[in-house]
A and B are shown apart, each in its own frame.
Chain A
């Protein structure tokens, strides 16, 4: 095994171009587990800890450009207002020790269906900035990024530089099912974001299909129901039948398996419950801010 220690992003890209089999390591919270358990013996480890750019973030007009190695602890601390869904998801990651090391780049690189960040990224809307020495930068829409179980859209010579996450324009929620509060790999997880600017709702489901997925049919149904009922303007309570139908469609959009953490049937049921709850929480919050602003006017 060789340990590559690039001191800059350019050096990292050059190293990855020269050694496409090199496994990038930043927080190490996935890679080191595989090495410790002898599940993986990469020819090259590509250490990204020295690449300072990866630990920075920029808050722009419409989105946050989040460096791939920004640890979850920093997201929780500094980006709660801009990225509430991702901040909530970050809270559920493992333990303080892991949140001090792990970041979204690793979650995307590993592309496990159980990765905690994915539902939040899918719901908020995001693009993954990847780069290679040969072809430069490309932005991969999050909807196209996950290509299979632990597979993603990266080419062998590419590295993840950052993720551009749309800033919240409305309430966002994140919910995760596990056996305890800390140190839990999700049995399943659900992210939901209201986008009042475009009058749309976006979702993200974790651990209930071969890849993280959006519940597209459920979103279409809900967007139409909210529009037809004039809910965005009136801010009235969402009809229970609409919430129920949305939950059922979310559950139906899963393609889960039975495994040690839970059965497919349980996952489908839990996704439906989380869909209904996160919709209720976010919608109540949306109604609250509407009432507050009307009261002030």
Chain B
């Protein structure tokens, strides 16, 4: 079957999609967006977390046909999403009205774009080790800072409780989210 939907602000079409296929498979294998990781395929690890109509979900548990006509943001589009959110916040407009990223950057694949505040904070805080869990954590953490600009440690733990990391022990990840929240607060 054919599935049409929006990914990172751009209309996409996937053909010959198997009816039992997951959104994750479509993103990785058909649309060339391997940022969302495939690990447990049962919603346990959060590595495949994306935003579906703004809501964080495990893309491995969304059937491809269910995203027809809907809006998906992956880690590749996170920097652009964060930039548009910041611009919309500054100008008091809603997200979709805000200006798209310009220049040589590709808002779809994330190539050449500057990092989002959450991505930069993960690097600065040393929250990335093997990196496999990082895309899912970034999407989840970014959504948290969108809905709760000043999260408590409990809020952060709760928001990231669906994302497993087997390297860091989570402390550096907590540091990164605190750092991103603090920078976000300063910028306002």
Binding site for B on A (CB under 8 A): 1-3, 5, 25, 27-29, 31-33, 35-37, 41-42, 45, 47, 49, 94-98, 100-101, 181-183
Interface residues in B126-147 by Cβ distance below 8 A to A read: 140
Interface residues in B48-82 by Cβ distance below 8 A to A read: 49, 55-58, 60-63, 65-66, 68
Chain B CB within 10 Å — which of A1, A3, A25, A98 has the most? A3
Cα–Cα distance between A98 and B162 once the two chains are bound (Å): 8
Cα–Cα distance between A96 and B141 once the two chains are bound (Å): 12
Cα–Cα distance between A27 and B60 once the two chains are bound (Å): 11
Complex contact A98–B66 (CB within 8 A): no
Of the candidate stretches B15-23, B107-115, B166-174, the one touching chain A is: B15-23
Given A47-B65, A183-B44: A35 and B20 interface contact (C-beta under 8 Å): yes
Cα–Cα distance between A98 and B40 once the two chains are bound (Å): 14
Chain B CB within 10 Å — which of A2, A97, A181 has the most? A97
Least CB distance, A144 to chain B, in whole angstroms: 30
Please encode chain B, from 142 to 163, with 1 for each CB lying within 8 Å of some chain A CB and 0 for all others: 0000000000000000110111
Complex contact A98–B161 (CB within 8 A): no
Complex contact A29–B63 (CB within 8 A): no
Complex contact B62–A97 (CB within 8 A): no
Complex contact B161–A182 (CB within 8 A): yes
Complex contact A96–B20 (CB within 8 A): no
Given A25-B66, A95-B162: A37 and B20 interface contact (C-beta under 8 Å): no
Cα–Cα distance between A183 and B58 once the two chains are bound (Å): 13
Complex contact A32–B22 (CB within 8 A): yes
**Residue in A31, A45, A96 whose beta carbon sits within 8 Å of that of B140 in the complex:** A96
Complex contact A97–B46 (CB within 8 A): yes
Complex contact B60–A36 (CB within 8 A): yes
**Residue in A29, A33, A100, A101 whose beta carbon sits within 8 Å of that of B41 in the complex:** A33
Q: Which residues of A contact B68 (CB under 8 A)?
A: 5
Cα–Cα distance between A96 and B159 once the two chains are bound (Å): 6
Least CB distance, B51 to chain A, in whole angstroms: 10
B41, closest chain A residue (CB):
A36
Chain A CB within 10 Å — which of B18, B61, B62, B65 has the most? B61
Complex contact A100–B57 (CB within 8 A): yes
Cα–Cα distance between A94 and B161 once the two chains are bound (Å): 9
A-B contact pairs, 25 of them (CB 8 A): A1-B19, A3-B19, A3-B65, A27-B61, A28-B63, A28-B66, A29-B43, A32-B22, A36-B41, A36-B42, A45-B19, A45-B20, A45-B63, A47-B63, A94-B162, A95-B46, A95-B161, A95-B162, A97-B46, A97-B56, A97-B140, A100-B55, A100-B56, A182-B162, A183-B44
**Chain A CB within 8 A of B1 CB:** yes
Complex contact A28–B162 (CB within 8 A): no
Q: Which residues of A contact B58 (CB under 8 A)?
A: 29, 97-98, 101
Q: Which residues of A contact B43 (CB under 8 A)?
A: 29, 32-33, 94-95, 97-98
Q: Which residues of B contact A33 (CB under 8 A)?
A: 41-43, 61
Q: Which residues of B contact A100 (CB under 8 A)?
A: 55-57
Cα–Cα distance between A252 and B159 once the two chains are bound (Å): 38
Q: Which residues of A contact B44 (CB under 8 A)?
A: 183
Complex contact B1–A3 (CB within 8 A): yes
Complex contact B63–A183 (CB within 8 A): no
Closest 5 CB pairs of A and B: A95-B162, A182-B161, A1-B19, A36-B41, A3-B19
Q: Which residues of B contact A183 (CB under 8 A)?
A: 44, 161-162, 164
